Structure 1
Amino acid sequence: MDTLQNMRIFTLVAEQRSFSATARALNLTTGAISRAVSELESRLSIRLFNRSTRVVTLTPSGERYRHHALRILAAMDEAEREARNSQELAAGELRVTISEEISHLRIFEGIRIYRRQHPAVSIALTLASGIPDLYRGEADIALVNATSLPDSGQVARHLTTTFNVLCAAPRYLRGRQLPLCREDLAKHECLALDAAGCRPREWTLDDGNRSFRMRASSMLQTNSASILLNATLDGMGIGALPLSTAVHGLQRGELIHILPGYRANVTNVYATFASCRFMDARVRTWLEFIVTYLRTVVEADKAALTRNASPVQTGVCA
């Protein structure tokens, strides 16, 4: 940094052709200006100026060095301007990693809306399992689904809470007794989702007051919400489907809501990022957008789920 400062002083002396005029312009003493130039000459092992009591002129070596110094200082100024702009203007590529379990939350629709607001930002979206290490540069921000987050040193913000919904296709229920309380589930194929917030082959049912764990007895277990949806639609059993996925099937009549008095596998959605300090405008604007967007999506899905609930299936056992 001393070398760069001395370089700036040198170029100004060359422009002013005066040590005293440069000192006045920088609000420094003439001695400080002279020492800066002398330090630079010692570092370079050349004489930059011909000095006399009345005039200061560049040596041939000083003229060549001034040409390069101006280019270096201009590049430094441009780098600083670009860095400052990144705090103010959302532009460039934003690397977003999301858990597959929350990809159903209309993330792609959200990206389209965000880009209409910030057209200078492009999105590099990656589906991943687990929580990425943002300190290693794997992403700028991550959206993850978990009951709680481990202590990783990364900053986290809670975005919303979501849950799974017990559903079955009409073809599966044909000829079978409709479950009216959770004990009835033991008589059915319960398709298991092995994902964040879910224990393998286990459901956690929540009636709003208490939680109950039960084994999901099934010939199928998958870590993919889309595979679970297809298996449920195909009549393979009762699936604990992500809220947004279930709503679409219920509205189209392809699924029947089982035990609407219960929520399955309640989990939280978080945004994680490396630091709140000097947050890049791309990350800041995306975070501000996604927290409002996801909460709106989840609340709309909850309302749609309530509208589709059948009063016949509201049984909750003590």
Structure 2
Amino acid sequence: MDQLAAMRALRRVVELGSFTAAGEALGLSHTVVSRQISHLEAKLGAQLLNRTTRRFALTTAGTEYYAACKHILDALDDADRAVGQHQANPSGTLRINAPMAFGTQELARWLPQFLASYPELRVDLVCNDRIVDLIEDGFDVALRLTRDLPDSTLIAKRLASSRVMLVASPDYLRRHGTPRTPQDLLQHNCLTYTQVARPQEWRFTGPDGADVAVTVRGSLQANTGMALCTAALAGTGITTTASFLAHAELRSGALVQVLPDYPMRPRELYVLYPHNRHLSPKVRVFVAFAAELYASRDWD
């Protein structure tokens, strides 16, 4: 027996005054409504209605039970409405994880526009260059810049591609010379990013389409690209960087691209979120906003 359905049937019978009217309101026959209430009485071990051929009346137990049913059903209806409203209007706190450079230099540029579009949302942004467990660490969504995503139960939506290039300051190149081929890098101070599988291995595609790999060395390695870019600006050496991170410095001439004829494999920007049949509105609108943003702009 579906006890909630029987409770709703009892309420309709009492409020509408007949089994037939209750059945019409519930989309059931009056026989089914009568059977539901009989099963409910059998379960409770108490008579709820005194029936005659033409009318009925609540018993003392029925009066008490009807009042309790009404309270319970009203509370359930209120809960349903609250959830429905929450589903319609994204609200609450959206916890986002992003790489340090991307979160502070790129995401921070358009996050205010997203928040202005959804005033009932709050964002808790955590930036770091370690791979977090979204479920274990309580994040709703993550942004990743990577060449290869590990196998995961998470949903991954590709948003854009980011060029990766070598850069150095004009001062460094004046003092140490400009590399013409990847092999020339062996004579240079190369600043390496440690959050990749092989930090010292830099791979390129040559003008003839062939892959070229060199193992580099240098005086500085770091787990954040911002530190490496800052060191390159200071003339310390040559480093790899994502195009979004150094575009202003490249435009101003504070950094120049090294080996432009030997491109490096780009990194892909993904948004990741847990697989859930009922995706929360706050995650849904964030993913849609980011997808539309990067579909309509030339990131590089």
Could you tell me which amino acid in structure 2 is paired with residue 230 of structure 1? T
Tell me the residue number matched to 1:130.
131
Tell me the residue number matched to 1:306.
none
Change (3 A) 1:238 1:119: same
**Match status 1:141 vs 2:141:** yes
Give the conservation status (yes or no) of the 8 Å contact 1:162–1:243: yes
Could you tell me which amino acid in structure 2 is paired with residue 57 of structure 1? A
CA-to-aligned-CA distance 1:177-197 (integer Å, 9 cap, x gap): 12222222111100000124x
CA-to-aligned-CA distance 1:217-239 (integer Å, 9 cap, x gap): 11221111122122222322111
Report % sequence identity. Answer: 29
Tell me the residue number matched to 1:201.
200
CA-to-aligned-CA distance 1:11-62 (integer Å, 9 cap, x gap): 1112123223322333423332122112223333333223333332223332
CA-to-aligned-CA distance 1:98-150 (integer Å, 9 cap, x gap): 2335325510122111122222222222235226344x583222221222223
**Match status 1:55 vs 2:61:** no
Runs of 4+ in 1 over 4 A off after TM superposition: none
Tell me the residue number matched to 2:169.
169
Note the 1:98-109 alignment, pairs <5 A: 98-100=98-100, 102-103=102-103, 106-109=106-109
Matches of 2:92 and 2:210 in 1, distance apart?
47
Tell me the residue number matched to 2:244.
244
Tell me the residue number matched to 1:220.
220
SS in 2 for 1:264: coil
Matches of 1:143 and 1:56 in 2, distance apart?
63
Could you tell me which amino acid in structure 1 is paired with residue 133 of structure 2? P
**Match status 1:256 vs 2:265:** no
Give the conservation status (yes or no) of the 8 Å contact 1:159–1:291: yes
| Shift of residue 86, structure 1, vs aligned partner | 4.3
Tell me the residue number matched to 1:271.
271
Note the 1:20-31 alignment, pairs <5 A: 20-31=20-31
Matches of 1:41 and 1:226 in 2, distance apart?
71
CA-to-aligned-CA distance 1:67-123 (integer Å, 9 cap, x gap): 332232222223333434444433332232223353255101221111222222222
Change (3 A) 1:266 1:210: farther
**Segment of structure 1 superposing worse, 251-260 or 230-239:** 251-260
Could you tell me which amino acid in structure 1 is paired with residue 205 of structure 2? D
Aligned Cα root-mean-square deviation (Å): 2.6
Give the conservation status (yes or no) of the 8 Å contact 2:101–2:226: no
- Unaligned regions of 5+ residues in structure 1, if any? 303-318
- Unaligned regions of 5+ residues in structure 2, if any? none
**Match status 1:150 vs 2:150:** yes
Could you tell me which amino acid in structure 1 is paired with residue 69 of structure 2? A
Could you tell me which amino acid in structure 1 is paired with residue 204 of structure 2? L
Could you tell me which amino acid in structure 2 is paired with residue 71 of structure 1? H
**Match status 1:160 vs 2:160:** yes
Give the conservation status (yes or no) of the 8 Å contact 2:163–2:265: yes
Could you tell me which amino acid in structure 1 is paired with residue 271 of structure 2? A
| Alignment: residue pair count | 298
Tell me the residue number matched to 1:66.
66
SS in 1 for 2:40: helix
Could you tell me which amino acid in structure 1 is paired with residue 22 of structure 2? T
Question: Structure 2 length normalisation: TM-score?
Answer: 0.87
**Segment of structure 1 superposing worse, 39-48 or 153-162:** 39-48
Give the conservation status (yes or no) of the 8 Å contact 2:134–2:141: no
Give the conservation status (yes or no) of the 8 Å contact 2:222–2:228: yes
